[in-house]
Amino acid sequence: MSTSPAPLLAVSDLGIQYGPVAAVRGISLAVGSGELVALVGPNGAGKSSLLSAIAGVVPSARGAIAWRGASLAGKSPEDILRLGIALVPEGRHIFSSMTVEENLRLGATIRTDRDVIADEIERLFATFPVLRARYRQVAGRLSGGEQQQLAIARALLCKPTLLMLDEPSLGLAPIVIDQVYEILVRLRQQGVTILLVEQNAARALDTADRTYVLSAGLVRLSGTKDELLRSANFDAAYFGVTEAEAGAAP
């Protein structure tokens, strides 16, 4: 009898508190090797908090996060990064006064194989050609889309097995969003596992292998694009209302 392979990442009944406020109220999800999995939902759904907890940036109040079957409890963000989980946060967080080159090299600071980093940066230019053209330029002068590409490339220099991105399309023009998502699809084809937070549900569904719909700190629905679009409860799940509430709406 065949069994499914264990997921790379497994989140079980996770809860996150900010003082008296429950940002995440018992989320469970899994990400398999080579998948692109999306988290969608309105503002305040708990999406960013979930990524921050996986990355070790915020503590969890309850539940468990397992990476390759081993608990991440008590591990620092640097420990988790060294295990192969990299986060590109909302807003990109590049160092605007540094050059593109300096930003990229910061992404490799946890590594010991410094002799091959220059070659890897050169290979990244195949995916991010604009960074070659801007290599000596101060990063603060890049456009929003170029900064997003820099943030993704910098994270890739950590050599992650799982790349997490929080709202990569935020504030970008539609044509630039297309470019960013083309890069994400290419990375998945190259074998990078991706966990993506995206407020644009249509974009996420078009790109992801599977999508989790979050609202008010809970997973309301999950599945492939076809499964979710066939569900009569998709809109209700996205906005966190019950079927009865949705039916009663004027």
Number of domains in the chain: 1
- The set of residues, in sequence order, having a beta carbon less than 8 Å from that of 199 and lying 6+ positions away, is 40, 41, 42, 43, 167, 170
CB-based contact 167:135 (threshold 8 Å): no
Q: Which of 11-25, 109-123, 219-233 has the lowest mean pLDDT?
A: 109-123
130 assigned to some structural domain? yes
99 assigned to some structural domain? yes
Share of the chain above pLDDT 90, in %: 76
Average pLDDT over residues 199-206: 89
181 assigned to some structural domain? yes
3 assigned to some structural domain? no
197 assigned to some structural domain? yes
CATH number at residue 198: 3.40.50.300
Average pLDDT over residues 25-42: 96
Please name which of 219, 235, 90 lies closest in space to residue 164, comparing C-alpha atoms. Answer: 90
pLDDT for 27:
97
Q: What is the pTM of this model?
A: 0.90
- Tokens encoding 185: 């699809």
185 assigned to some structural domain? yes
pLDDT for 246:
41
Average pLDDT over residues 171-179: 89
Please name which of 68, 63, 47, 75 lies closest in space to residue 164, comparing C-alpha atoms. Answer: 47
Q: What order do you get walking across the sheet with 21-31 strand by strand?
A: 21-31, 9-18, 62-67, 70-71
pLDDT for 4:
64
Average pLDDT over residues 7-22: 96
Q: Does 245 score more than 60 pLDDT? A: no
Print the domain residue range for 39.
Answer: 9-248
Average pLDDT over residues 114-119: 86
Per-residue pLDDT band for 23 (boundaries 50, 70, 90) equals very high
DSSP 8-state symbol, 99? B
2 assigned to some structural domain? no
